[in-house]
Chain A
Amino acid sequence: DQQVKQNSPSLSVQEGRISILNCDYTNSMFDYFLWYKKYPAEGPTFLISISSIKDKNEDGRFTVFLNKSAKHLSLHIVPSQPGDSAVYFCAADYQGGKLIFGQGTELSVKP
């Protein structure tokens, strides 16, 4: 039973445009959500997070939106750059410090 789902395995965007990565979850008890970025042959690195008491968090080009009623979060990257090409994982915190991850979305930003 996949509690965190990223339904788009891949996304291709032109450089300078907006990238929108989506994530759905089923458990309303999740209280913290994170996005990680992963390059090939490297471990994931933390990108941005959001508490369940907020609906938006912004950090430079990256913004995460949380819609609790829809159990949906999204990551917006504006403007997208070729260096943003990577696999993006959303994750939810449950049972205090343990994370459950989505399947990942591979973003390709074309020059």
Chain B
Amino acid sequence: DVKVTQSSRYLVKRTGEKVFLECVQDMDHENMFWYRQDPGLGLRLIYFSYDVKMKEKGDIPEGYSVSREKKERFSLILESASTNQTSMYLCASTDYSGGIYNEQFFGPGTRLTVL
């Protein structure tokens, strides 16, 4: 059974702080994703990674960076947290390859509040 875990379920930070959100998957998936979910906007892709040390920008990368030093771990970094980054953050992984689609498996999410 695929498991995607996220380091925190709830997080409260202050404006200007550097914030790290960690995601770990245990199925040896190559592809990992970070989304944010906001009411009325659905899930929006922030960054994704197809391999270790590889990253690509998604649709809303501004204010974020990522790190993938090991295959199973994908970190999202808010360099200087702002109130408009208050959101639900969701990590996902999948084994997509060669034109055959495989579903993305999601973690439980981290509810981040920036004061």
Q: Which residue numbers of B lie inside 8 Å of A, CB to CB?
A: 4, 9, 31, 33, 35, 40-45, 48, 50, 58-59, 90, 92, 94, 96, 99, 101, 103-109
Contact = CB atoms under 8 A, between A and B. Distances in A.
CB-CB nearest 4 A-B residue pairs = A43-B106, A97-B96, A46-B103, A101-B43
A6 B107 CA distance: 23
A89 B42 contact: yes
Interface centre among A34, A97, A100, by most chain B C-beta atoms within 10 angstroms, is A97
A99 B94 CA distance: 11
Given A6-B42, A41-B108, 10 more contacts: A32-B101, A43-B92, A44-B90, A89-B43, A96-B99, A97-B31, A97-B50, A98-B33, A98-B45, A100-B45
A59 interface: no
Nearest to B105: A46
Interface of A: 4, 6, 9, 32, 34, 36, 41-46, 49, 89, 91, 93, 96-104
A45 to B, nearest CB: 7
B48 A98 contact: yes
A101 B42 contact: yes
Contacts of A93: 101
A41 B79 CA distance: 25
A6 B104 CA distance: 20
Given A41-B109, A44-B90, A96-B99, A103 B40 contact: yes
A98 B58 contact: yes
14 contacts: A6-B42, A34-B103, A41-B9, A41-B108, A43-B90, A43-B106, A43-B107, A96-B96, A97-B31, A98-B58, A100-B59, A101-B44, A102-B42, A103-B40
